């Protein structure tokens, strides 16, 4: 930036000298060049320049005077300064946009509150509970009008699903580990058997989830299902597959 400022001052001074001395002293400077030089001088303190030609001219007053005597060269220098000024402005705009994005992300992470804030913990804890044993939430139970026998039926169905899921997931994990080992040895018969075993375990998991879904539908009334889907859609995350 310092070099650019020195260069701009030198450009302004040598422009005047070029009119008084040299082979082009009788030529009137183009008014558009004068306004361009003035504009570049005003912006010079913040623009800076990485151009080798500009840097060299700032260190060589004689070369600068020679360049300023040539109208085409003088316009070229002014154009380089304008381009550099535009790059600096673009950099500032991008920096402001990045700062704005970071601020929005900070606000979205709990409206700027620390993750250890009790209110944040409570908020995310409630969302997790809605995806799990939502029938145990007193507020949801009250809003749906769940009867005690409905809650007990949902609890029993969930316990059955959990037990089946643990058993079939264990089988699936063991079959997968054995399958990797047999693949390394190319034991075809064992590979076929383990593939079938994994498929059976996956089908059993899907069956357990199906039974749970059907149990929910049989336990809740039409109005309760509509209300739950409308007011607490997170509760149906478990019905779409997977386990809490």
Please tell me the distance from the alpha carbon of residue 16 to that of residue 69, in angstroms, as a whole number: 10
Q: What does the pLDDT read at residue 149?
A: 93
Please tell me the distance from the alpha carbon of residue 34 to that of residue 12, in angstroms, as a whole number: 9
**Given pLDDT bands bounded at 50, 70 and 90, which one contains residue 133?**
confident
**Given pLDDT bands bounded at 50, 70 and 90, which one contains residue 117?**
very low
Half-sphere exposure at residue 43, Cβ-oriented, CA atoms within 13 angstroms: 21
pLDDT in tens, 20-54: 444 444 444 454 445 444 454 444 443 444 455 66
Compute the average pLDDT of residues 203-228. 89
Q: Which of 174, 166, 165, 163 is nearest to 197 (CA)?
A: 174
| Cα-trace Rg, the chain | 38
* Number of neighbours of residue 54 by Cβ within 10 angstroms: 20
How far CA 3 is from CA of 39, 48, 91, in Å, comes to 17, 7, 20
**Given pLDDT bands bounded at 50, 70 and 90, which one contains residue 153?**
very high
- The residues near 172 (Cβ < 8 Å, ≥ 6 apart) are 198, 201, 202, 205
**pLDDT beyond 90 at 219:** yes
Q: Residues 91, 1: contact at Cβ < 8 Å?
A: no
Compute the average pLDDT of residues 139-145. 88
Largest CA distance in the chain: 106
Q: End-to-end alpha-carbon separation of the chain, Å? A: 59
Q: Residues 11, 70: contact at Cβ < 8 Å?
A: no
Higher-pLDDT residue of 104 and 153 is 153
The string of DSSP letters for 131-171 reads HSSGGG-HHHHHHHT--HHHHHHHHHHHHHHHHHHHHHHHH
Q: What percent of the chain lies above the pLDDT cut of 70?
A: 57
Higher-pLDDT residue of 86 and 151 is 151
């Amino acid at each position: 930036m310092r070099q650019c400022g020195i260069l701009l001052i030198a450009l302004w001074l040598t422009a005047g000298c070029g009119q008084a001395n040299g082979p082009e002293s009788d030529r009137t400077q183009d008014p558009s060049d004068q306004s361009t030089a003035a504009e570049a001088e005003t912006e010079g303190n913040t623009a800076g320049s990485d151009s080798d030609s500009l840097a060299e001219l700032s260190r060589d007053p004689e070369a600068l005077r020679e360049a300023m005597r040539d109208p085409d060269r003088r316009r070229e220098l002014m154009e380089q300064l304008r381009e550099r000024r535009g790059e600096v402005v673009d950099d500032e705009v991008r920096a402001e946009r990045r700062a704005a994005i970071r601020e929005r992300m900070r606000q979205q992470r709990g409206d700027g509150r620390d993750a250890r804030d009790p209110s944040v913990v409570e908020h995310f804890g409630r969302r997790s509970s809605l995806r799990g044993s939502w029938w145990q939430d007193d507020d949801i139970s009250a809003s749906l009008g769940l009867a005690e026998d409905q809650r007990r039926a949902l609890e029993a169905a969930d316990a059955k699903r959990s037990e089946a899921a643990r058993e079939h997931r264990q089988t699936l994990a063991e079959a997968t580990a054995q399958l990797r080992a047999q693949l390394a040895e190319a034991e075809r018969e064992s590979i076929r058997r383990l593939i079938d075993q994994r498929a059976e375990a996956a089908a059993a998991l899907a069956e357990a989830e199906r039974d749970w879904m059907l149990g929910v539908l049989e336990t809740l009334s039409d109005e309760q299902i509509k209300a739950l889907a409308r007011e607490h859609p997170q509760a149906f995350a478990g019905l779409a597959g997977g386990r809490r």
